[in-house]
Amino acid sequence: MAPIRLAIVGVGKIARDQHLPSIAGNPAFTLVAAVSRHDPQIEGVPSFASLDELFASDVKVDAIALCTPPQVRYELAAKALLRGCHVFLEKPPGATLSEVEALRALADEHRVTLFASWHSRFAAGVAPARAWLTERDIRKVQIIWREDVRVWHPGQAWIWEPEGLGVFDPGINALSIATHILPRPFFLTAATLSVPANRAAPIAADLTFTDGAGTPITMDLDWRQTGPQSWDIIVETDAGTLRLARGGADLFLPDSTHSDGDVEYAGLYAHFASLVAAGQSDVDVAPLRHVADANLRGTRISVEAFED
């Protein structure tokens, strides 16, 4: 089979750090174009200022990877799907749930692949954690996701806008793991969102969830962490405690440890290639639904202004 001719749309930090190396390392893809309103220069690859400009050119494209902020993603994804292109959506898949559902319907109508990616699900410890938990009685879950926004998201104004998610931008990674590894669906019961006086999106959040069995699940998100960063999920079971650390890269079980390097985006692109080959889509909105629920049900409190 010929390689999938892929264009990358949005050439920022995540594209350069993760997408480009993963594309280069997967023979199922060949990078044929880059699209960015700013400086999309990638050596040896044609560059375009807009998706319209790319589609008006003679460059043949089978698929696009959308790495733009979520606020502008619907229009771009819809345009690509209407042209018969397969679409890889960086997380979160859209600014709203309704947008993503509309894109899913559009992909089905035009018989192309839509992949709403959740990179943290492909961290090394996640699959074995999911397998281990299927046979356990889960008693308590703690999610602790604390990092320094100035280190990980410096100067990214879009992230503080209403559709930018704020602290839920990293927090949705934790939710993507939790919704994947826990055997029962869970739902929000209460939330407190701490919003800086000069911002629209939260800088911290405390959430409580439960499931059909009454399991207590808590989530502590904070972008004001300094020093050591925390990306941990702790699950207490009848057979001992499971802990995922470093965002799922390290798994600690009562009798074993699983750890590996940065394999998330390689796994995403392998999955995308398999979906295209099979003529299927993968559009799971469960993590985004929990964020929407937090904004719907949560109590917003004003905290001190935040400046980069």
- pLDDT at 71 (0 to 100): 87
Look-up of token digits 């699900």: 121
- pLDDT at 39 (0 to 100): 67
- pLDDT at 155 (0 to 100): 87
- pLDDT at 41 (0 to 100): 76
Class of the CATH-defined domain 120-259+292-303: alpha beta
User: Which residue, among 176, 158, 154, has the nearest Cα to 166 in the 3D structure?
Assistant: 158
- pLDDT at 40 (0 to 100): 62
pLDDT along the chain (308 residues), means of 10: 94 91 96 86 89 96 95 95 97 94 97 97 96 96 97 90 91 98 97 97 98 97 95 98 96 89 92 98 97 96 94
Per CATH, which fold does 4-116 belong to? Rossmann fold (3.40.50)
Give ranges for CATH 3.30.360.10 in the chain.
120-259+292-303
- pLDDT at 301 (0 to 100): 98
Give ranges for CATH 3.40.50.720 in the chain.
4-116
- Tokens coding 243: 């802990």
What is the pTM for the complete model shown? Answer: 0.94
CA distances 222 to 41, 46, 204, 308, Å, are 35, 40, 4, 15
Point out the residues that are catalytic: 91
- pLDDT at 5 (0 to 100): 98
